[in-house]
Amino acid sequence: MEWGDNHQHHKPHIHVAYNEFKVSIALDGEILNTGKKGFPNKILKLVAAWIILHEEELYSMWIKAVKGEEIGKIPPLC
């Protein structure tokens, strides 16, 4: 999770990178930005599942990030 610009980042979201693909996904599942190359649908489904599994942790981390606090890490799916 990245943070630092409270003026642009009003909606809680994560930045995901997979090979050469990048995407920003809101914690409610909305795709905010897929970059120039799109993003593989199969991987989007895995990320959506990961968000659901870690929803409480992600929202807690978002609150810390907005306050400028250290957020730590959540393990990936693989």
74 phi and psi, to 5 degrees?
Answer: -115, 135
Q: Please report whether residue 3 resides in a domain.
A: no
- Considering its fold, how many domains does the chain have in total? 1
**pLDDT given at position 9:** 58
Q: Which domain holds residue 39?
A: 13-66
Q: Please report whether residue 41 resides in a domain.
A: yes
Q: Please report whether residue 61 resides in a domain.
A: yes
Q: Please report whether residue 53 resides in a domain.
A: yes
**pLDDT given at position 47:** 93
Amino acid identity of residue 69, one-letter, is: E
Q: Please report whether residue 55 resides in a domain.
A: yes
Q: What is the dihedral of CA 43, 45, 47, 48, to 10 degrees?
A: 170
* CA 54 from centroid of its chain's CA atoms: 11
Q: Please report whether residue 22 resides in a domain.
A: yes
User: pTM of the entire structure?
Assistant: 0.79
Residue 48: both structure tokens together = 């959506």
* Integer Cα distance of 58 and 5 in angstroms: 17
Q: Please report whether residue 75 resides in a domain.
A: no
- The pLDDT tens digits for 9-65 are 578 999 899 999 999 999 999 998 877 778 999 999 999 999 999 999 999 999 998
**pLDDT given at position 33:** 85
| pLDDT higher at 53 or 7 | 53
